Amino acid sequence: MAKIKPRVKVPKKAEAGEVITIKALISHPMESGRRKDKKTGKLIPRKIINRFTCDFVGASQSGNVIDVQLEPAISTNPYFQFEAKVPESGEFRFKWVEDGGAVYELAKKIAVG
């Protein structure tokens, strides 16, 4: 299986209160549970990323940006693009939760000023 690797794109700098665009992608097969193994004819068990969250953590202000619930109808290598407000310097924390409870995390710092 291909390695599961999260990637995000966040600007390094922003003005206070600015709205920035964030792109997040994780390489993941998103096995829908409906595909059959060609050799054995058996169903391949479902294994998808079922939740994706992005939170901002700063010195005085923290908060959730987006919380997505994913179903098997999301494509392989789930990709999201969304906007976030930057109240101050801090970091954006990203979290992907896989079926079975495995968690993949990534954080990106952003500087205000």
Partner 1 sequence: MLQLTRREALGAGAGAFAITAFGLPAMAAAVEDAIKKFTGGAMPAEGGVDLTAPEIAENGNTVPIEVAADGAVAIAVFADGNPAPEVCTFNFGPLAGSSAAATRIRLAKTQNVIAVAKFADGSFKMAKAVVKVTIGGCGG
Tell which residue, 57, 59, 65, has the closest CA to residue 91: 57
Pick from 55, 91, 98, 99 the residue near partner 1 by CB under 8 A: 55
Pick from 8, 20, 106, 107 the residue near partner 1 by CB under 8 A: 20
Query: What is the C-alpha separation between 87 and 43, in angstroms, rounded?
Result: 47
Contact between 11 and 77 under an 8 Å Cβ cutoff? The reply is no
Q: Give, as ranges, the residues between 57 and 96 that touch partner 1 (CB under 8 A).
A: 63-76, 78-85, 87
**Choice between 82 and 103, CB closer to partner 1:** 82
Q: Which residue has the tokens 């665009």?
A: 21
Residue 9 near partner 1 by CB under 8 A: no
By CB under 8 A, name the binding residues for partner 1: 19-21, 32, 34-36, 55-56, 63-76, 78-85, 87
